[in-house]
Amino acid sequence: MSIDKELREELHQVADSMHFPPDLYGRVRQSYQHYMNEKRGKSPMKKRMLAGIVAVAILIPSAAFAASYLADDIFGSSTDIEQHGVSQEEYQAIEGMLQAAKGKLTEDEFKEYMELTKQIVQLKLKITDENGVKHEEKLTKEEQQQFEQLASKLAPYFEKINGTAKP
Interface residues with another protein (CB under 8 A) are 1-4, 6-8, 10-15, 17-21, 24-25, 27-29, 31-33, 35-36, 39-40
Q: How far is the CB of 49 from another protein (least distance, A)?
A: 22
Cα–Cα dist 34/2, whole Å: 48
Whichever of 1 and 64 has its CB closer to another protein, that residue is 1
**SS3 (DSSP) at 12:** helix
What is the closest distance, in whole angstroms, from the C-beta atom of residue 48 to another protein in the complex? 21
Residue 50 CB, shortest distance to another protein, in Å, is: 20
Q: How far is the CB of 79 from another protein (least distance, A)?
A: 53
Pick between residue 25 and residue 162 the one whose CB is nearest to another protein.
25
Quick one: 23 or 130, whose CB is closer to another protein?
23
Q: What is the DSSP code string of 83-143?
A: TTT--HHHHHHHHHHHHHHHHHS-HHHHHHHHHHHHHHHHHHHHHB-TTS-B-GGGS-HHH
CB 83 within 8 A of CB 130: yes
Least separation in angstroms between CB 47 and another protein: 17
Q: Select 14 or 67, whichever has its Cβ closest to another protein.
A: 14
Nearest-10 crossing angle of helices 141-162, 107-127:
140
Give the residue with the Cβ less far from another protein, 3 or 67: 3
Which of 36, 165, 23, 13 is CA-nearest to residue 101?
Answer: 165
